[in-house]
Structure 1
Amino acid sequence: MRAEVDRPVRDTAVEVNLEAPTSADGRWCLDAYFRELAERFETGFDPARSNPARDEEITPPAGFFVVARLDGRPVGCGALKRKDRTTAEIKRMWTDRSARGRGVARKVLETLEAMAREFGITTLHLETNRTLAEAQALYRKSGYREVEAFNDEPYAHHWFEKKL
């Protein structure tokens, strides 16, 4: 119990790096992400029914995929998928349960936003499911505002946008 109290809210040891979604750690993160969504969503989760973020769409130059690590261990991921010249979507944001509350998701999101700016992106979109309250809170705190649906993602209940 004492370790939980003393654990910092944000962890400066979080490293976020560009990586291929097909790497071993990238696949591990994506598989864990899909498993967690299947557990948490009321209807389960089938990646084949969801709007895609195919490997080639989140690999440079089309987009980016990042893996977050704590002490060298993968604990999170996120992706940027370009929609057009100035708009991109944040996809596949996930943090392992063991690393939550340590600033991993925020650092992944900030890294993706910085990459988007360098890529010439001026508008970011993302969507999320109503059961992911912690994700909604992060997006709102990070300056995303809720907007009308911009796609037909079957698992989404909230759509967000941020101007960079």
Structure 2
Amino acid sequence: MGPVPADPVSTEQVTALRRFNRYFTRRIGALDDHYLGQDRPLGEARLLFEIGGKGASLRDLRARLGLDAGYLSRMLRALQTQGLVQVSVHPGDSRLRVAGLTAAGAAEIREQNRLADALAEGLLGGLDARRRAELTTALDTAHRLLRLAAITVETVDGASPDARACLDAYAADIDTRFPEGFDPATLVRPEEVSGEAGAFLVAYEEGRPVGCGALRRLGPRAGEIRHVWVDPGARRLGLGRRLLDGLEQRAVERRFTVVRLDTHAVLTEAQEMYRACGYTEIPRYDDNVYAAHWFEKRLPAAR
């Protein structure tokens, strides 16, 4: 369950996105059965690109491309018949099947990349340097926001494999940042952040956990936010704020009137985010040996 938008999506916003989708897919030739002039549609061309020189497991390909197993299998069979792809069992895990390019498939990818670069260069060549820079910035912004929009945030049990994997990654990350290191024994316990006691959120991008955050009860009407973490590959998207907002929503659902949190002195970006999200610095309220700053935020009453 993700955070509820503050404002509903307008008809004009939906229309604008759909208009852009129609124009862009037509302009890059996505509707042509011979994408980039090659003898295949965009779906097969994209699958070849995702397999790439290093190969990829079928499980990863399904997640990356959002395809069901049957459709992916049909495309792979077509590419195998054409001598472009070979599928084998993963050498380290017999449960996984891996797709790799043949020599002919690698040659087609090289040509595909050449043609795609030429198409992009042709499009950008119609603009002067200032407008090219403007378009590039706009595309970077669109990519960032679309990634954030596609990420799902779900409440999971604090003892679930995804929750513990995120906490392990969080602990390893801050262990390298804290001058004194970090002891994983200080992480929240599953029972503190599950059920009525609290909540544990995991953010997923294409089926892979890329962030987390925990909420636990401090008192009858007070909660504490812990371990807000975002995978390095998903940072600078705004996901930290989205996780924080989700935890605040879970706190309101539990009729907490205030949430508190602490943070280390070196985590200046976290301190900036908390202040920007309405948190006020307060005196120490706990005995966390890693904390140097303490914050709280008053919450609206549950509806």
TM beyond 0.5: yes
**Residue 156 of structure 2: aligned partner:** 19
What is the aligned-residue RMSD (CA, Å)? 1.6
Give structure 1 stretches of 5+ with no counterpart: none
Alignment match of 1:78 (pick from 203, 213, 220): 213
Tell me, in whole angstroms, the C-alpha distance in 1 between the residues paired with 2:265 and 2:272.
11
CA displacement 1:41-64 (0-9 Å, x = unmatched): 01000133x3x5211010011110
**Residue 6 of structure 1: aligned partner:** 140
Tell me, in whole angstroms, the C-alpha distance in 2 between the residues paired with 1:28 and 1:53.
13
Tell me, in whole angstroms, the C-alpha distance in 2 between the residues paired with 1:134 and 1:69.
22
Tell me, in whole angstroms, the C-alpha distance in 1 between the residues paired with 2:282 and 2:144.
29
Tell me, in whole angstroms, the C-alpha distance in 2 between the residues paired with 1:12 and 1:127.
28
Runs of 4+ aligned structure 1 residues displaced above 2 Å come to: 7-10
- Give SS of 2:233's match: helix
**Residue 28 of structure 1: aligned partner:** 165
**Residue 234 of structure 2: aligned partner:** 99
- Identity of aligned pairs, percent? 44
**Residue 62 of structure 2: aligned partner:** none
Tell me, in whole angstroms, the C-alpha distance in 1 between the residues paired with 2:274 and 2:144.
17
| Displacement after TM superposition at 1:30 (Å) | 0.5
CA displacement 1:88-124 (0-9 Å, x = unmatched): 0001110000000112111111011011111100010
Structure in which a larger fraction of residues adopt helix: 2
Structure in which a larger fraction of residues adopt strand: 1
| Displacement after TM superposition at 1:21 (Å) | 2.2
Matches within 5 A, 1:117-156: 117-156=252-291
**Residue 43 of structure 1: aligned partner:** 180
Higher CA-based Rg: 2
Corresponding pairs, count: 160
Indicate if the aligned counterparts of 2:158 and 2:189 stay in contact, CA closer than 8 A.
no
**Residue 58 of structure 1: aligned partner:** 193
TM-score, normalised with respect to structure 1: 0.92
